[in-house]
Amino acid sequence: MQYLQQILFVALAAVSIWLFARKAGQIRRNIFLGKEESLNDQPALRWRNLLLLALGQKKMFSNPLVAIMHFVIYAGFIIINLEVLEIVLDGILGKHRLFAAPLGSLYNWLINAFEFLAVGVILVCIVFLSRRNILKLKRFISKDLNGWPRSDANYILITEIILMSLFLTMNATDLVLQARGDSHYPSTGSFYFSGLLSPLFSGFADSTLIAIERICWWLHIAGIFAFLNYLPYSKHLHIMLAFPNAYYARLESSGKMKNMPSVQNEVLYAMQPELAPTDAAPPARFGAKDVFDLSWKNLLDAYSCTECGRCTAACPANTTGKLLSPRKIMMATRDRLEEVGRNIDANKSFQDDGKSLLHDYISVEELRACTTCNACVEECPVSISPLEIITELRRSLIMEESNAPQEWNGMFSNTENNFAPWKFSPEERDQWATQ
């Protein structure tokens, strides 16, 4: 029987890891469908960003209470899962609490610390569920989250509560079996919270206690493996991608926009024709129409989005009732990228599906509403820039499709002819001073 359990465990672990690795490979491929971009300069500063933004969640602390609650869940996820290492080794080797003897009293201290975190995670998850479903904070009831995105957040919070409850129940029954001297359950000392629960199980027979403990053990580890494979389909993928996204964050001023060398050169050649090469190839595309035209960093941003809505809450265009939502921009980019990935999986290479990110997923009205104020970039806790995607799509609209409001066209014409947005020649600009 013991060998059968070990075989089942190894099979479960192998299938779970294989499925996760396959999906992770697809996501990596999708990200690198974007254009090449080098973001490897200043490694020391990049590591600092990773530690402060991803690990330390620096931007979250603009709201200290929410930041502390979020940090409890985050720490619980990272630290309690260290216990998974023991569970995995127990499952493979057919042991129980493999680290108890080697670690001695330290083991008891660690499990108690894990239990305090587990209770903290349960309490914070209940608070976050209440914020979303009872208090209904504005950024959580936005139409951006209609359907699956809203359910996704609730599923994760409920799963966390279940996993932590299984962990505490498993420990509580384990303590009762330890007290009864069962040879398979070595003494580990008392655990605080599961010790409070253990009297509830004191009237159960040994066989019932073992069944409860084993069921909790299996459900706990199976739940973790299921969670692992749920992550790539969920907004909670940011748990993993926040780290590379913070490392590869842009280091220049967040308000700085990237110029297009091809356009700069055209202006230069117009002013100094003698510099123009005779064999210069025209640019393939101005701006971006589909995900292929964005950089890999833009696509990494899309997968890293937490859908927290802080960007949209800070957006002045959205606040005044316009259609633009920076969160929706990121979600739409990810949805299009996933669709492109499925197309490649089905056809071995991308086959034109008659769709594009621009128009089919993100509308002209959304793009025109953006004031490029950079509020969305400043607010994002994981260094995402919806603004970059917006500006690239607007460039395609204007330079590829000549699709701009009449007011903008007048400004463009004046800039081209008069080198300024105003409708008078450069020679007349200083006349106001002589009036």
The answer as to whether 412 is a domain residue is yes
Shared-domain flag, residues 405 and 325: yes
Shared-domain flag, residues 308 and 211: no
Backbone angles phi, psi at 187, to 5 degrees: -70, 130
Backbone angles phi, psi at 295, to 5 degrees: -80, 160
Taking only the tens place, the pLDDT of each residue in 61-70 is 777 888 888 8
Taking only the tens place, the pLDDT of each residue in 377-422 is 999 988 899 999 999 999 999 988 989 888 888 888 888 787 778 7
Taking only the tens place, the pLDDT of each residue in 68-120 is 888 888 877 777 767 788 888 888 888 888 888 888 889 899 889 889 999 99
Q: What is the dihedral of CA 10, 15, 16, 17, to 10 degrees?
A: 90
Shared-domain flag, residues 166 and 270: no
Euclidean distance between CA atoms 100 and 105, whole angstroms: 8
Shared-domain flag, residues 147 and 268: no
The answer as to whether 99 is a domain residue is yes
Shared-domain flag, residues 396 and 284: yes
The answer as to whether 155 is a domain residue is yes
The answer as to whether 426 is a domain residue is no
Taking only the tens place, the pLDDT of each residue in 24-45 is 999 999 999 999 998 989 999 9
Residue where one domain finishes, among candidates 209, 224, 247: 247
Residue 250 three-state SS: coil
Judge whether 150 and 178 are in contact, CB under 8 Å: no
pTM of the predicted model as reported, rounded to 2 decimal places: 0.86
- Domain count for the chain: 2
The answer as to whether 254 is a domain residue is no
Which residue segment(s) compose the domain that 128 sits in?
2-247
Shared-domain flag, residues 279 and 167: no
Shared-domain flag, residues 31 and 147: yes
Shared-domain flag, residues 302 and 192: no
The answer as to whether 102 is a domain residue is yes
The answer as to whether 433 is a domain residue is no
Residue where one domain finishes, among candidates 222, 247, 272: 247
Q: Which of 184, 398, 404, 205 is nearest to 286 (CA)?
A: 398
